[in-house]
Amino acid sequence: MLELINVSFQVESEGKGKEIVRDVSLTVPDRKLIVITGPNGGGKSTLAKLIAGIEKPTGGSIRLDGEDITDRNVTERARLGISYAFQQPVRFKGIRVLDLIRIAAGKTLSVADACEYLSSVGLCARDYMDREVNASLSGGELKRIEIATVLARHARLSVFDEPEAGIDLWSFRNLIDVFRNMRETIEDSSILIISHQERILAIADEIIVIKDGRVEKQGRREDVYPFLDADSAEKLTCEGGIRAMGKGGEAE
First vs last C-alpha separation in the chain: 38
Residues 6+ apart with CB under 8 A from 235: 197, 198, 244, 245, 246, 252
- What residues make up the domain containing 28? 2-87+156-241
147-170 pLDDT, tens per residue? 888 888 888 899 998 888 767 776
- Does residue 17 fall inside a structural domain? yes
Quickly state the pLDDT bin for 129 (edges 50, 70, 90).
confident
Instruction: Tell me how long the chain is.
Output: 252
Report the CATH number that the domain containing residue 190 is assigned in CATH.
Answer: 3.40.50.300
Tell me whether residue 151 is in a domain: no
Q: Could you report the per-residue pLDDT of 12-70, keeping only the tens digit for each?
A: 877 777 899 999 999 998 889 999 999 988 999 999 999 999 999 999 999 999 999 99
17 phi and psi, to 5 degrees? Answer: -80, 130
Q: How many domains does the chain have?
A: 1
100 in any annotated domain? no
Q: Could you tell me if residue 94 is inside a domain? A: no
Q: Is residue 9 included in any domain, yes or no? A: yes
User: For position 196, what pLDDT does the model report?
Assistant: 87
